[in-house]
Copies of this chain bind each other. A is one copy, B any other.
Amino acid sequence: MARRPTIADVAQRAGVSRSSVSFALNNRPGLAEETRARILAAAEELGWRPSRPAQALSLGRAGALGLVLTREPDLIGADPFYPAFTAGIESVLSERGDGLVLHVTSADREKSLYERLAADRRVDGVLLTDLRVDDPRPALTASLGLPTVVVGRAEWAGGHCAVELDDEPAYVAAVRALAEAGHRRIAHVEGPREYRHAARRRRAWERTLEELALPPGPLRPGGFTAEGGARATRELLALDEPPTAIVYGNDLAATAGLAVAHELGVPVPGRLSVVGYDDTPLAQYTHPPLASARADARGWGEAAARALGAVIADGAAPDVVLPPAAFLPRASIGPAPAAGNARPGAIRPATVPDVHLSE
């Protein structure tokens, strides 16, 4: 295998200096059109592309973004978010010929990983996802001088640029839709408390019940997992007054919940309405199809990558607010069962003020 050509080879072949090749490549002014063409032709013939490490060293930028996943592997596995999100990132990076450096780690090694990332100069900046309560990362990357974009709400960002795609409206809409369908006992199976988005979903549920003057519904931990969703559902359905609707933190837990309902002979939506979140590929094909909410993970990735690019280039970038996830009613929700003490129709859509909940 022949040694890969360098800029010197191109220069020699075109009969110019290395500087001229560089000028031609980055089409900067000051080269005769004919010379430029000759250089580019030579580069083409040799199949030359500038070496990334050399460019990185020279330019002082790596040409790559970092993404660290701190979720536990099996939590990641079931989540359709990351693949779509990284596809969105990639679509932006590929325009610039940049790359995405992915790391999967656990919470205990997380800190040293970011430190390495910063000291290494292997990436020019990082995207922070899955923000936790009291998340140390925004302050950490700030102190490391590592350009950062937070994927989530601005108030989680600790001064960094934030790219937000709100999941609250979908939860508000789901609870309202259930209330309008006559449900009065609406439960929530929440995700891990340490995640800010899980907490935000729980609060959206909580406050919407309040706003609608409905009694606070039962709450169970579901951990965003199938197992947690199944257990929580079992507990909820075993209550003296079981809920007539359950809003889950994600589709995985909701789908497991559906299975438990089937197993216990509880018809859905006849006796129980079910709502998930994520709109996994499976959601339309469960039985019955699962009401859920779709966030544009790909668009989120795109926006985040673009924002981080701006932060790296300009030192800062304005926050971005993407359209919130849309609630997708499907056949897993229906009117509250008559047997319950819900009074269908008692709450009229028009009487419900359309306020936007904020944290």
Tell whether, in the assembled complex, residue B281 and residue A225 are in contact, meaning their CB atoms are under 8 Å apart. Answer: yes
Tell whether, in the assembled complex, residue B285 and residue A256 are in contact, meaning their CB atoms are under 8 Å apart. Answer: yes
| A170 close to B (CB within 8 Å) | no
Q: Which residues of chain B come closer than 8 Å to A78, judged between CB atoms?
A: 80, 280-282
Tell whether, in the assembled complex, residue A285 and residue B77 are in contact, meaning their CB atoms are under 8 Å apart. Answer: no
CA distance A48 to B116 in the complex (A): 10
CA distance A323 to B121 in the complex (A): 39
Copies in the assembly, this chain? 2
Q: Which residues of chain B come closer than 8 Å to A119, judged between CB atoms?
A: 4, 47-49
Q: Which residues of chain B come closer than 8 Å to A121, judged between CB atoms?
A: 4, 51-53
| A273 close to B (CB within 8 Å) | no
Residue of B nearest to A286 (CB): B259
Interface-forming stretch among A95-103, A183-191, A193-201? A95-103
Q: Which residues of chain B come closer than 8 Å to A53, judged between CB atoms?
A: 52-54, 56-57, 62, 121-122
Q: Which residues of chain B come closer than 8 Å to A313, judged between CB atoms?
A: none
Residue of B nearest to A49 (CB): B119
Q: Which residues of chain B come closer than 8 Å to A252, judged between CB atoms?
A: 281-282
Interface size class on chain A is 35 or more
Tell whether, in the assembled complex, residue B77 and residue A80 are in contact, meaning their CB atoms are under 8 Å apart. Answer: yes
Find residues 69-102 in chain A having any chain B CB closer than 8 Å to their own CB. 69, 73-74, 76-80, 82-84, 86-87, 90, 94, 97, 99-102
Interface string of A262-293 (1 = CB under 8 A from B): 11000000000000000011101111100000
CA distance A79 to B53 in the complex (A): 33
Q: Which residues of chain B come closer than 8 Å to A105, judged between CB atoms?
A: 90, 94
Interface-forming stretch among A16-24, A151-159, A174-182, A226-234? A226-234
Interface string of A298-341 (1 = CB under 8 A from B): 10000000000000000000000000000000000000000000
- In the assembled complex, the CB of A54 is this many whole angstroms from the nearest CB of chain B, namely 5
Residue of B nearest to A55 (CB): B53
CA distance A281 to B227 in the complex (A): 8
Which residue in B69, B77, B259 is a CB contact (below 8 Å) of A280? B77
Tell whether, in the assembled complex, residue B84 and residue A73 are in contact, meaning their CB atoms are under 8 Å apart. Answer: yes
Interface centre among A79, A87, A280 (most CB of B within 10 A): A87
CA distance A320 to B351 in the complex (A): 67
Q: Which residues of chain B come closer than 8 Å to A286, judged between CB atoms?
A: 255-256, 259
| A64 close to B (CB within 8 Å) | yes
Could you give 19 example pairs across A and B, Cβ below 8 Å? A51-B57, A53-B54, A73-B84, A74-B281, A76-B84, A76-B87, A77-B281, A83-B104, A90-B102, A90-B104, A97-B116, A99-B122, A101-B101, A226-B282, A227-B284, A259-B285, A259-B287, A263-B287, A263-B288
A residues neighboring B (CB under 8 Å): 1, 4, 47-49, 51-54, 56-57, 62-64, 69, 73-74, 76-80, 82-84, 86-87, 90, 94, 97, 99-105, 109, 113, 116, 119-122, 145, 225-227, 229-230, 252, 255-256, 258-260, 262-263, 280-282, 284-288, 298
